[in-house]
């Protein structure tokens, strides 16, 4: 039986609920940030992995999308998205072949950070008869992937010497929390990130390398990095939903979080403890709470009545605030710490408005890791 038109109370649990009004407001907010700064908004769809939300972002003014993996890009390209940036090093003959195939019917940009990747992509595009646009990834402090700043010129030059590839520019990601960050202020971090990459782009241009795109930013830093002269593109992702992490950085308030987890109380082992039917297969566990100053793995959406302090696969142990006494069978909503990995654990999103189910969206790129 269809859920559409039914109240939230009739939704089986656990389930991910999307507040459609808040989702639309969040999309508008970041579209306005980019438009007012005069930069391209290329949102990262790894957060939602959903065709309907990507369409909303594009209609609101996004100039293409960003994905983490080729398999995500394949889903969205097959659905008609025509401008995609895979912000991840493409390594391996098979992945290069798949990228070259996508590029036959889509404006595809990929990240590179090694000579081997460049050679494999060039060989694949030569066979496929396609062109892939390339951005060199730069390590700006996260110490994950990306070449060091002084190595960027050599890699850019290699891209310029091989067939089938066209240098598009440079990109980086460091977010608002990285090793040895000079501050925790996202506005300052965004400005520093933008200035670093714009400076590199100018150096490369002076060396005769045609750098067009300077692609940077994240949800916490997008508003400030977009204002740095010379930045051409920002790539926030979490902003569509927000989560406890973004409230911690001051990027959003709890009232702006658009995704919640609906769970049912299945046991009351103590007066201050409830067990819910949502555990580590529903709530993300990739963010260690104490490392980012968060308590637990999720919090009740009112902000104070309960905290998920421990999880097993299908059990969430909730510490209850004094005076909060849900009964077995009661349903409670929670905000997760990290929304991106939370969404990837579920097959569908339940779209709600004023307590009523309006739609059910498939998480079309769920599990696309290759």
Give residues with Cβ within 8 angstroms of 338, minimum separation 6. 243, 244, 245, 284, 286, 287
pLDDT greater than 90 at residue 175 = no
Q: Is the pLDDT of residue 292 over 80?
A: no
Q: Note the pLDDT of residue 286.
A: 76
Write a three-state SS string for the chain.
Answer: CCCCCCEHHHCCCCEEEEEHHHHHHHHHHHHHHHHHHCCEECCECCCCCCHHHHHHHHHCCCCCEEECCHHHHHHHHHCCCCEEEEEEECCCHHHHHHHHHHCCCCEEEEEECCHHHHHHHHHHHHHHCCCEEEEEEECCCCCCCCECHHHHHHHHHHHHHCCCEEEEEEECCCCCCCCCCCCCCHHHHHHHHHHHHHHHHHHHHHCCCCCCEEEECCCCCHHHHCCCCCCCEECCCHHHCCCHHHHHCCCCCHHHCCEEEEEEEEEEEECCEEEECCCCCCCCCCCCHHHHCCCCCEEECCCCCEEEEEECCCCEEEEECCCCCCCCCCEEEEEECCHHHHHCCCCEEEEEECCEEEEEEECCCCCCCC
For 300-349, the pLDDT digits (tens) are 999 889 999 999 999 999 999 999 999 999 999 999 999 999 999 999 99
pLDDT band at 290 (very low <50, low <70, confident <90, very high): low
Overall CATH class of domain 20-242: alpha beta
Give the pLDDT of residue 13: 99
Give the pLDDT confidence score for residue 143 in this predicted structure: 85
Q: Return the CATH class of domain 8-16+252-362.
A: mainly beta
When the pLDDT of each residue in the chain is averaged and rounded to a whole number, the result is 96
pLDDT single digits (tens) 195-218: 999 999 999 999 999 999 999 999
Domain ranges (residues) in the chain: 8-16+252-362, 20-242
């Amino acid at each position: 039986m269809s859920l559409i038109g039914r109240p939230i109370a009739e939704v089986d649990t656990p389930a991910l609920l999307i507040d459609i009004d808040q989702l639309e407001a969040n999309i508008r907010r970041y579209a306005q940030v980019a438009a007012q700064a005069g930069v391209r908004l290329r949102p990262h769809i790894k957060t939602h992995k959903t065709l309907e939300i990507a369409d909303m972002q594009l209609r609101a003014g996004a100039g293409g999308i960003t994905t983490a993996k080729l398999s995500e890009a394949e889903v969205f390209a097959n659905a008609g998205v025509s401008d995609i940036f895979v912000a991840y090093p493409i390594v391996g003959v098979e992945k290069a072949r798949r990228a070259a195939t996508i590029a036959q019917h889509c404006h595809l940009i990929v990240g590179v950070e090694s000579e081997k990747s460049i050679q494999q992509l060039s060989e694949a595009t030569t066979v496929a008869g396609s062109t892939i646009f390339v951005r060199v990834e730069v390590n700006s402090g996260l110490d994950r992937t990306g070449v060091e700043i002084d190595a960027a010129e050599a890699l850019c030059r290699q891209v310029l010497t091989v067939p089938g590839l066209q240098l598009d520019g440079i990109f980086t990601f460091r977010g608002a929390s990285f090793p040895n960050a000079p501050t925790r202020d996202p506005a300052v971090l965004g400005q520093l990130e933008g200035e670093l990459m714009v400076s590199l782009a100018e150096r490369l241009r002076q060396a005769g390398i045609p750098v067009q795109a300077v692609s940077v930013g994240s949800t916490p830093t997008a508003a400030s990095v977009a204002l740095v002269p010379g930045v051409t593109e920002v790539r926030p992702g979490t902003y569509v939903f927000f989560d406890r992490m973004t409230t911690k950085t001051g990027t959003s308030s709890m009232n702006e979080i658009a995704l919640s987890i609906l769970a049912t109380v299945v046991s009351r082992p103590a007066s201050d403890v409830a067990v819910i039917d949502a555990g580590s297969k529903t709530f993300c566990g990739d963010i260690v709470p104490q490392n980012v100053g968060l308590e637990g793995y999720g919090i009740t959406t009112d902000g104070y009545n309960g905290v998920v302090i421990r999880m097993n696969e299908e059990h969430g142990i909730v510490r209850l605030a004094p005076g909060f006494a849900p009964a077995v069978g009661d349903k409670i909503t929670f905000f997760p710490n990290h929304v991106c990995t939370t969404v990837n654990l579920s097959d569908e999103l339940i779209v709600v408005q004023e307590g009523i189910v309006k739609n059910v969206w498939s998480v079309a790129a769920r599990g696309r890791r290759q």
